């Protein structure tokens, strides 16, 4: 047993987190920043944070992740990190020549109280930011929220670039939230199908799913440009996908530049995708073409064809709130039973939303989203009430093996499988893929477990 010390009996813990279902803010800020064209993320703190974040993102995407660090030693921790950051900005623009540097803080620089706007202002006045180049920033103390919060904060940092000329440009902003590069591509494809001209930020497609060609580009073609981010202030509206990841940036544009926003669920599964497409249509005043309805129908078709294999199957999930909400809705909508759900990312609305989505089920879902909502707790719940399927990141594989439960890898980070960079799980096409993954896991299991006399060729 890999998790041989996890007992069945639940004990209340107040201080010790075991096998967390979250990580810290800066990695989210780093991921978001990679979705800006020509941007080098920069971690303002000691260099270990940056090394860890780059390593984890590299392992997840199997792509180079470049980022700078202020490399604090004890001196900077005592006297403040201004000198380090000024030097870093100078070195970065000289050596790597990015268009943009996206600075985020760490728990170290936050605790000593480094004032990013002040330091960046000084960098500008000292001429360390070359003409035509940009520095954006986000405050991302690791002791608040989670990686999701960090992502959201950097998205807000991008929204701060927007300006309003007073003339609407007819475009729609889409903030896709923490989804994969392939998902961002899929969202762009859907919007193009509906005929909506969009500005999407961040956009990691083309950045973190690049080709192997014998050439290394530190700054690939993809990513939202600073010009586009500026124009986002003239858009007719913003669709923010995911309350936790995207709403802050959208509301900022709404309150400061009067770009109205709608906060939607992430388009995982049938119903959330329906609402997304519908919102796109309405905000841009377009009609939805037949191709989109066709794709939708294919998903409905697969749900009906294979319903017998997932009907009332119990699922345990761990991950981030925006994804979990949409996934819970998808699972219940196809008559699966989400049973245990944990997210380390705090937010009171999460539990309420899950309760609302699962209200029609004949049992009360186990759901928790605070500091002690970790994978240790999830495992204990599973021991007490076993499930048919696990969904979440790679760190669930120990539970999967110990309890002999099939695992569908989905979320962040996935360190031991590939595909998430290239194949979307959002939209109707993504729904088909999700369903295929779920079915393959359940049916592989059935093929393994069925007795010989009941082993069937046709399923």
Partner 1 sequence: MTPAMFNNDTTMTAAEIKEELLKKYPPKVARKRAKQIMINEALENETPEITANVRTIPGIITMRGCTYAGCKGVIMGPTRDIVNITHGPIGCGFYSWLTRRNQTDAYAPDAANYMTYCFSTDMQDKDIIFGGEKKLEAAIQEAYDLFHPKGICVFATCPVGLIGDDIHAVAAKMKAKFGDCNVFAFSCEGYKGVSQSAGHHIANNQVFKHLVGLDDQGKPGKYRINLLGEYNIGGDGFEIDRILNKCGVTNIATFSGNSTYDQFASSHTADLNAVMCHRSINYVADMLETKYGIPWVKVNFIGANAAAKSLRKIASYFGDQELIDRVEEVIAEEMPAVRAVAEEVRPRTEGKTAMLFVGGSRAHHYQELFKELGMKTISAGYEFAHRDDYEGRQVIPELKVDADSRNIEELEVSPDERLFRPRKSQEELRALESSGLKFKDYDGLIPDMERGAVVIDDLNQYEAEKLVELLKPDIFCAGIKEKFSIQKLGVPMKQLHSYDSGGPYAGFRGAINFYREIDRLVNSRVWGYLKAPWQENPELSATYVWE
Residues 265-304 that bind partner 1 (CB under 8 A): none
Q: Is 423 in the site for partner 1 (CB under 8 A)?
A: no
Taking the C-alpha atoms of residue 246 and residue 145, their distance in angstroms, rounded to an integer, is 14
Cβ–Cβ < 8 Å for 408, 389: yes
Q: In the set 51, 293, 352, 459, which binds partner 1 (CB under 8 A)?
A: 51
Q: In the set 33, 36, 39, 108, which binds partner 1 (CB under 8 A)?
A: 108
Q: Is 146 in the site for partner 1 (CB under 8 A)?
A: yes
Q: Is 216 in the site for partner 1 (CB under 8 A)?
A: yes
Q: In the set 33, 34, 39, 67, which binds partner 1 (CB under 8 A)?
A: 67
Taking the C-alpha atoms of residue 421 and residue 408, their distance in angstroms, rounded to an integer, is 16
Q: Work out how close the CB of 374 gets to partner 1 at its nearest, in angstroms, rounded to a whole number.
A: 9
Residue that is written with structure tokens 């294919």 in the block: 298
Give whichever of 111 and 169 is closer to partner 1, judged by the CB atom. Answer: 111
Give whichever of 102 and 241 is closer to partner 1, judged by the CB atom. Answer: 102
Q: Collapsing DSSP states into helix, strand and coil, what is residue 209?
A: coil
Q: In the set 141, 222, 269, 430, which binds partner 1 (CB under 8 A)?
A: 141
Q: In the set 8, 10, 49, 123, which binds partner 1 (CB under 8 A)?
A: 49
Q: In the set 10, 170, 217, 349, which binds partner 1 (CB under 8 A)?
A: 217
Q: Is 91 in the site for partner 1 (CB under 8 A)?
A: yes
Taking the C-alpha atoms of residue 216 and residue 210, their distance in angstroms, rounded to an integer, is 10
User: Taking CB under 8 A as the criterion, which residues in 17-36 touch partner 1?
Assistant: 17-20, 22-27
Q: Is 107 in the site for partner 1 (CB under 8 A)?
A: yes
Q: Tokens for 132, please give them.
A: 């035509």
Q: Is 398 in the site for partner 1 (CB under 8 A)?
A: yes
Q: In the set 167, 212, 304, 454, which binds partner 1 (CB under 8 A)?
A: 212
Question: Residue 392: left if φ>0, alpha if ψ -120 to 50, beta else—which one?
Answer: left
Give whichever of 5 and 125 is closer to partner 1, judged by the CB atom. Answer: 5
Q: Which stretch binds partner 1 (CB under 8 A): 13-21, 297-305, 326-334, 432-440?
A: 13-21
Q: Work out how close the CB of 372 gets to partner 1 at its nearest, in angstroms, rounded to a whole number.
A: 9
What angle (nearest 5°) sits at the alpha carbon of residue 256, between those of residues 254 and 261?
5
Q: Is 10 in the site for partner 1 (CB under 8 A)?
A: no
Which residues lie closer than 8 Å to 457 by C-beta, 6 or more apart? none
Q: Is 58 in the site for partner 1 (CB under 8 A)?
A: yes
Q: In the set 99, 133, 395, 439, which binds partner 1 (CB under 8 A)?
A: 395
Sign, CA torsion 166/172/176/180: negative
Where does residue 7 rank: exposed (0-12), middle (13-18), buried (19+ CB within 10 A)? exposed
Q: Is 229 in the site for partner 1 (CB under 8 A)?
A: no
Q: Tokens for 28, please give them.
A: 């989210």
Q: In the set 252, 268, 376, 381, which binds partner 1 (CB under 8 A)?
A: 376
Cβ–Cβ < 8 Å for 41, 30: yes
Query: Where are any strands of DSSP class E within 127-256?
Result: 134-138, 172-175, 198-200, 237-241
Per residue in 135-157, is it b (16+ CB within 10 Å) or e — as a string? bbbbbbbbeebbbbbbbbbbbbb
Q: Work out how close the CB of 186 gets to partner 1 at its nearest, in angstroms, rounded to a whole number.
A: 23
Query: How, if at all, do strands 366-368 and 337-342 pair?
Result: parallel
Taking the C-alpha atoms of residue 4 and residue 292, their distance in angstroms, rounded to an integer, is 49
Size of the site for partner 1 (CB under 8 A): 86
Q: Is 149 in the site for partner 1 (CB under 8 A)?
A: no
Q: In the set 114, 120, 139, 142, which binds partner 1 (CB under 8 A)?
A: 142
Q: Is 386 in the site for partner 1 (CB under 8 A)?
A: no
Give whichever of 69 and 152 is closer to partner 1, judged by the CB atom. Answer: 69
Q: Is 87 in the site for partner 1 (CB under 8 A)?
A: yes
What angle (nearest 5°) sits at the alpha carbon of residue 379, between those of residues 378 and 380?
90
DSSP label of 213: S
Give whichever of 141 and 176 is closer to partner 1, judged by the CB atom. Answer: 141
Per residue in 217-229, is it b (16+ CB within 10 Å) or e — as a string? eebbebbbbbebb
Give whichever of 80 and 195 is closer to partner 1, judged by the CB atom. Answer: 80
Taking the C-alpha atoms of residue 102 and residue 67, their distance in angstroms, rounded to an integer, is 9
* C-alpha dihedral, 57 to 426 to 368 to 31, nearest 10°: 20
Q: Work out how close the CB of 326 gets to partner 1 at its nearest, in angstroms, rounded to a whole number.
A: 24
Q: Is 371 in the site for partner 1 (CB under 8 A)?
A: yes
Q: Is 85 in the site for partner 1 (CB under 8 A)?
A: yes
Q: In the set 35, 38, 68, 431, which binds partner 1 (CB under 8 A)?
A: 68
Give whichever of 17 and 333 is closer to partner 1, judged by the CB atom. Answer: 17
User: Taking CB under 8 A as the criterion, which residues in 330-359 touch partner 1?
Assistant: 344
Cβ–Cβ < 8 Å for 408, 441: yes
């Amino acid at each position: 047993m890999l998790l041989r010390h996890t007992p069945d009996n639940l004990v209340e813990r107040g201080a010790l987190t075991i096998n967390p279902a979250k990580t810290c803010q800066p990695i989210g800020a780093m991921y978001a920043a990679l979705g800006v064209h020509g941007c080098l993320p920069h971690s303002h703190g000691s260099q270990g944070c940056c090394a860890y974040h780059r390593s984890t993102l590299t392992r997840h995407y199997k792509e180079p992740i470049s980022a700078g660090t202020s490399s604090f030693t004890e001196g900077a921790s005592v006297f403040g990190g201004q000198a380090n950051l000024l030097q870093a900005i100078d070195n970065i623009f000289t050596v790597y020549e990015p268009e943009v540097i996206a600075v985020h803080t760490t728990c170290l620089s936050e605790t000593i109280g480094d004032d990013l706007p002040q330091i960046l202002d000084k960098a500008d006045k000292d001429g360390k930011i070359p003409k035509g180049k940009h520095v954006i920033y986000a405050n991302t103390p690791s002791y608040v929220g989670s990686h999701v919060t960090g992502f959201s904060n950097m998205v807000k940092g991008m929204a701060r670039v927007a300006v309003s000329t007073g003339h609407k440009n007819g475009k729609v902003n889409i903030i896709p939230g923490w989804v994969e590069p392939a998902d961002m591509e899929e969202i762009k494809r859907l919007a193009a199908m509906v005929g909506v001209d969009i500005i999407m930020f961040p956009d990691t497609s083309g950045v973190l799913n690049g080709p192997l060609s014998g050439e290394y580009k530190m700054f690939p073609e993809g990513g939202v440009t600073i010009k586009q981010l500026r124009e986002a202030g003239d858009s007719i509206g913003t669709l923010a996908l995911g309350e936790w990841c995207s709403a802050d940036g959208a509301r900022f544009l709404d309150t400061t530049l009067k770009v109205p926003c709608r906060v939607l669920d992430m388009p995982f599964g049938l119903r959330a995708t329906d609402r997304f497409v519908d919102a796109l249509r309405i905000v841009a005043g377009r009609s939805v073409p037949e191709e989109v309805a066709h794709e939708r129908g294919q998903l409905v078709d697969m749900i009906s064809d294979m319903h017998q294999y997932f009907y009332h199957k119990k699922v345990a999930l761990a991950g981030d709130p925006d994804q979990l909400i949409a996934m819970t809705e998808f699972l219940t909508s196809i008559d699966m039973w989400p049973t245990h759900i944990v997210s380390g990312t705090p937010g009171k609305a999460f539990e309420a939303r899950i309760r609302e989505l699962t209200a029609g089920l004949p049992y009360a879902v186990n759901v928790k989203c605070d500091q002690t909502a970790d994978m240790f707790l999830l495992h204990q719940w599973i021991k007490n009430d076993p499930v048919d399927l696990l969904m979440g990141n790679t760190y669930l594989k120990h539970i999967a093996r110990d309890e002999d439960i099939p695992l569908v890898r989905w979320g962040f980070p996935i360190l031991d499988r590939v595909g998430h960079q290239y194949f979307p799980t959002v939209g109707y096409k993504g729904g088909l893929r999700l369903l295929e993954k779920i079915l393959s896991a359940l049916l592989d299991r059935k093929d393994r477990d069925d007795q010989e006399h009941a082993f069937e060729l046709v399923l």
